Chain A
C-alpha cells in the first residue's frame, strides 16, 4: 500500500479518517523513513505553536474589545458582554507563557490551584480542541508529555466514575511546562487533571480544596509536584475522583522501577 506525501501530512496533522489512519500507521511502523517524516512534521508543528502561542497572552487593545463586543450599541449586546469578555480574556491569557503576568496584574498571587482552575476553564470550554492529542493516541500522548515534563506521567483511568479520557495537552509554565489531562462524562461535563513539577511547588500539602471562578479544585503537592483535579462539578464528586486519582498515581509510582 503506497502512502502519498499528502497523506503523511494529513496523518501528522490528525486529519485522516480513522480507517486510513490505521493503514498509514501500519505503513509507518514498517518504514522508518515514513516515521521520520511524520515525526519531523509533528516536531515542526510543536515548534510553531511554541513560537506563536505566547502572542495569545498579550493584552488586547480596548478598541478591539469594544469592536468584538459589538460596538453598534444595538439592543442585543448588553453591557454584560464586556464583563463576560473580560473574564474570558482573563482565562485565555492564562494558558500561555504570559499568564503569570496576567495573573499578577489582577492582584492575585499565582498559586498552583488558581492556575489549575484557570487552565481548566480555558481548555474545557473549547468544544473543538480541548486537547492537543486525543485519547485515541493515549500511549503516545503520555510518553510525549512525560518527555516534555521530564518525569513519568500517568493518565488515570476514571471510567469507573463515568469519565472517559478525552486527551491531553502541554501547558506553558513560568519555569517548567505542565500537563493537562481532560476527561468527559456522558453529560459532556469535563474535568481535568493538571500536573506540574517545579520549584514553585516547594511546599508540600495534603488534600486541599479551592474554588476559583466557579471551578472547584482538589489539589495536593507532593515531592515538588502539584496535582489538581478540577471541574465544575459537585464538591463531593470531585473529592471522590481526586481520591481515585491519588490512589492510581500512588500505585503507578509504587510499580515504577526505582531510578
Chain B
C-alpha cells in the first residue's frame, strides 16, 4: 500500500483548495494561510489517505476542520459569519472578479450575493454545485449527517435564488 500522497495530484488540487479556502475565509491572504496549513496537515497525515479515494474530498475535509478549529479559537460565531459584515473580507472576493474578462458584472453580482450567505451555506453550495462532490462525500467533509447536508443545501439554494431574484432582473442567466 502506498504510504505517500500522489504528489502531482496534490498540485492539481491546489487551485481548488485555494478556491475553497477563499470561500471559507472570504479573504485572499487568510485563504492562502489556510491552504498552507492544510497541505502541512495533509503531509503529516498522509498515511491516513486511502489510495484510490478522492484526494480532493480528503483535502477539503482537512481544510474544513482546520478552519472550524481556527474559528472557534478566535471565538467567532462560525455559522453566523457572513462576509458582508466585514468589508475587508468581502474585498477578497473582488480580486478574483477583476481577473475575469467576460460577463464581469453578472459574475461579480453573483459573487457578491454568495458572499452574503452564512459560511455553512456557502460551503455546501461550493461542494455540491461547483465541486460536484457526492452528498456522502460532503457529509464527510463537513462532519455532519447527510440529512443536514441536504437541508443546508436546500436552504442555501432557496436563499440564493431569492437574493438573486431581488438583486436585479438583469441577472437572468443566459442559457
Q: Quick check: A50 and B107 within 8 Å, CB to CB?
A: yes
Say yes or no: B10 contacts A69, CB within 8 Å. Answer: yes
Asked whether A70 lies within 8 Å of B7 as measured between CB atoms, the reply is yes
CB contact between A85 and one of B11, B110, B125 (< 8 Å): that residue: B11
Determine whether A64 belongs to the interface, using a CB cutoff of 8 Å to chain B: yes
B126-A60 in contact (CB<8A): no
Given A61-B32, A85-B11, check contact A174 B101 (CB 8 Å). yes
Out of B11, B101, B103, name the residue touching A65 (CB < 8 Å): B11
B129 and A44 contact, CB distance less than 8 A = yes
Report chain B residues within 8 Å CB of A15.
134-135
Name the residue of chain A whose CB is nearest to the CB of B156.
A44
Bound form: Cα–Cα A52–B23 in Å: 10
Does B30 interact with chain A (Cβ within 8 Å)? no
Taking A70-B43, A88-B8 as contacts, is the C-beta distance between A63 and B96 under 8 angstroms? no
Task: Flag if A56 contacts B15 (CB, 8 Å).
Answer: yes
What is the CA–CA distance of A63 and B36 in the complex, to the nearest angstrom? 8
Task: Say yes or no: A147-B175 contact (C-beta < 8 A), given A67-B39, A89-B11.
Answer: yes
Knowing A88-B11, A88-B12, A98-B99, the reply to whether A45 touches B129 (Cβ < 8 A) is yes
- Chain A interface helix/strand/loop/mixed: helix
Q: What are the residues of chain A within 8 A of B103 when measuring CB–CB?
A: 50
Contact: A46 with B173, CB < 8 Å? yes
Cα separation A47 to B129 with both chains bound (whole Å): 9
Decide if A129 touches B32 in the complex (CB within 8 Å): no
For the complex formed, measure the closest distance between the CB of A95 and the CB atoms of chain B, giving whole angstroms.
10
Interface residues of A, CB < 8 Å — how many? 52
A44-B129, A55-B18, A81-B11 given; 18 more Cβ-contact pairs under 8 Å: A10-B135, A13-B128, A13-B135, A46-B173, A48-B110, A48-B130, A50-B107, A51-B111, A52-B111, A55-B15, A56-B19, A64-B36, A67-B40, A68-B13, A71-B43, A77-B7, A88-B12, A89-B15
Q: Which 6 A-B pairs have the closest CB atoms?
A: A85-B11, A51-B110, A54-B100, A67-B39, A45-B129, A56-B15
On B, residues with C-beta under 8 Å from A are 4-5, 7-8, 10-16, 18-19, 22-23, 32, 35-36, 39-40, 43, 54, 96, 99-103, 107, 110-111, 114, 125-126, 128-130, 132, 134-135, 150, 153-154, 157, 160-161, 164, 173, 175
Seen from chain A, the residues whose Cβ lies within 8 Å of a Cβ on chain B are 5-6, 9-10, 13, 15, 40-41, 43-58, 60-61, 63-65, 67-72, 76-77, 81, 84-85, 88-89, 92, 97-98, 128-129, 144, 147-148, 174-175
